[in-house]
């Protein structure tokens, strides 16, 4: 009778409290997972930036050395340059002209390509730095959003915005392309 009704009421209250704490634990686990995922992404982005920055620095050094070699050719003695037989009154043959054209072309390539490559590497380095700044800014916003909003049932189902932006979100929500043979 009455004791059974009181027992059911007490079991119901304990069940509700147990369910409340289980939901709270689940939300905290999801929150912890999101924060650790965002921290991991931040560390991966920093590592990727460091790797590519080191590569760019190495390429910059190589092209700077090549530019230095090209500039040092300009300082050589006159004996290292192709002979200018036209001033001596000697007829210039095709082979002499080709030698002079080849030398000037080589000198232009040794001076031009490293200079252009250095400018492009500086541009790429700036873009890489801007990419890291954007990723870190997005991650900071996402982490602060996770701290300011407690996770709800709908936010648990959605991956963080940074994961969607980096293409790391699941593809379950994407519609599948229609088959060519479908009616």
pLDDT of 80: 59
pLDDT band, residue 173 (cuts 50/70/90): very low
Contacts of 118 (CB under 8 A, 6+ apart): 60, 63, 64, 67
* Contact in structure between 143 and 35 (CB atoms under 8 Å): yes
Distance of CA 183 to the CA centre of its chain: 42
pLDDT of 132: 93
Q: Is 158 helix (H, G, I), strand (E, B) or coil?
A: coil
Q: Is the pLDDT of residue 70 over 60?
A: yes
Q: CB 117: neighbour CB atoms within 10 A?
A: 17
Per residue in 99-121, pLDDT (tens digit) is: 778 878 888 888 888 889 999 99
DSSP code at position 87: T
HSE (CB half, 13 Å, CA atoms) of 47? 6
Longest dimension (CA), the chain: 131
pLDDT of 160: 47
Beta strands per DSSP E along the chain: none
Q: Is the pLDDT of residue 172 over 70?
A: no
């Amino acid at each position: 009778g009455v004791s059974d009704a009181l027992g059911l009421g007490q079991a119901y209250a304990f069940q509700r409290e147990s369910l409340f704490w289980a939901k709270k634990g689940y939300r905290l686990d999801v929150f912890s997972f999101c924060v650790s995922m965002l921290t991991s992404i931040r560390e991966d982005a920093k590592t990727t930036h460091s790797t590519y920055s080191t590569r760019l620095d190495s390429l910059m050094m190589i092209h700077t050395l090549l530019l230095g070699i090209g500039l040092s050719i300009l300082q050589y003695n006159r004996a290292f340059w192709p002979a200018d037989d036209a001033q001596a009154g000697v007829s210039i043959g095709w082979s002499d002209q080709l030698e002079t054209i080849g030398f000037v072309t080589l000198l232009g390539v040794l001076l031009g390509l490293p200079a252009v490559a250095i400018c492009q590497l500086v541009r790429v380095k700036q873009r890489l730095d801007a990419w890291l700044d954007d990723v870190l800014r997005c991650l900071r916003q996402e982490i602060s959003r996770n701290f300011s909003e407690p996770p709800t049932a709908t936010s648990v189902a959605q991956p963080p915005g940074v994961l969607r932006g980096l293409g790391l979100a699941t593809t379950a929500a994407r519609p599948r392309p229609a088959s060519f043979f479908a009616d």
